[in-house]
């Protein structure tokens, strides 16, 4: 089907990045969030991001203005009844996603594909909350969305070839590479990434090295662009715990058990960049 109007639900870091990326590529976008302050913050974040592209000379002022003109912000999913494609980017919680997909299933046209940006939760489980499981898939964007090329495309048990092909074609229109993955906890990216981050936290807890030393080893020795603890702060320590819990529960292997230090930091509200404090302090 021809996709022009895209609905994005959730205006946090991932949601506003996804909305911006679609709008920059010529799609009309409706960004939905029940929180008015969150929507206002998303507007400012998108405007700032586009402004940086203009400053760097990679986007003209005219294209920036056109992108902003293709974005609309609403507080209810009722505004997505005529959407051609929907991407969900709300909190990483199974029941919240299932409840939302049940509502979307009753709202949007029968032929519309529903995508979730989940980074770990079963696509099959989310799809089971709808009457269109063949039109539900995972579209896991990477952060920051406007810059990162990869999109994991996760096929649920019932996801059709047509739905996967549509998602892949949208990735191409966005200038991104869609890489297929199967519906296992953590998929590809977090199945590999989260154990590394978790082990780095264990190394810190056990005094193997300081946060700076651990990150330096991975940057200078393994040529990673940023160390695992810096990356954890960037992702959000609460998100890391949530993903590890899904993997631990789904795979049953103790190697996915979240480090006690990581859980303690989350309990203390030290969530990384978004809270101003994690493994490092942020102004």
Side-chain-side CA neighbours of residue 112 (13 Å)? 24
> Helix axis angle, 36-56 relative to 13-24, nearest 10°?
50
* Number of other CB atoms surrounding residue 222 within 10 Å: 10
Exactly one of 140, 163, 198, 270 is catalytic; name it. 140
Active site residue 40: no
Compute the distance between CA of residue 43 and CA of residue 127 in angstroms, rounded to an integer.
30
Among candidate residues 11, 120, 190, 198, the one labeled active-site is 190
Has 11 been annotated as catalytic? no
Catalytic pick from 16, 122, 152, 163? 152
Q: Which of 119, 120, 122, 198 is catalytic?
A: 119
Joined tokens for residue 59: 């986007």
Residue 32 and residue 10: Cα distance in Å, rounded?
Answer: 6
**Is 223 marked active-site?**
no
Residue 217, token pair as written in the block: 């080893």
Catalytic site includes residue 190: yes
Tabulate helix, strand, coil % of the chain (nearest 5): 50, 15, 35
| Dist CA 186 CA 181 (whole Å) | 10
Q: Tell me the catalytic residues.
A: 119, 140, 152, 190
């Amino acid at each position: 089907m021809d996709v022009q109007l895209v609905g994005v639900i959730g205006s946090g870091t991932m949601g506003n990045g996804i909305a911006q990326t679609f709008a920059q590529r010529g799609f009309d976008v409706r960004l939905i969030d029940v929180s008015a302050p969150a929507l206002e913050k998303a507007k400012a974040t998108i405007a700032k991001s586009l402004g940086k592209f203009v400053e760097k000379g990679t986007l003209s002022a005219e294209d920036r203005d056109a992108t902003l003109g293709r974005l609309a912000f609403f507080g209810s999913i009722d505004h997505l009844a005529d959407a051609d494609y929907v991407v969900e980017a709300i909190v990483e919680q199974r029941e919240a996603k299932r409840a939302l997909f049940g509502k979307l299933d009753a709202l949007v046209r029968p032929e519309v594909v529903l995508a979730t940006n989940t980074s770990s939760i079963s696509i099959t489980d989310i799809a089971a909350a709808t009457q269109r499981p063949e039109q539900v898939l995972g579209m896991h964007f990477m952060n920051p969305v406007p810059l990162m090329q990869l999109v994991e495309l996760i096929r649920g048990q019932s996801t059709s070839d047509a739905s996967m092909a549509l998602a892949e074609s949208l990735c191409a229109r966005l200038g991104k590479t869609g890489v297929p993955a199967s519906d296992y906890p953590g998929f590809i990216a977090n199945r590999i990434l989260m154990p590394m981050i978790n082990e780095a936290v264990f190394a810190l807890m056990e005094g193997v090295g300081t946060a700076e030393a651990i990150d330096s080893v991975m940057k200078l020795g393994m040529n990673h662009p940023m160390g695992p603890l810096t990356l954890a702060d960037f992702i959000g320590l609460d998100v890391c715990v949530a993903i590890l819990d899904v993997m631990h529960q789904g795979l049953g292997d103790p190697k996915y058990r979240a480090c006690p230090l990581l859980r303690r930091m989350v309990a203390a509200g030290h969530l990384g960049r978004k809270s101003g404090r994690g493994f490092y302090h942020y102004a």
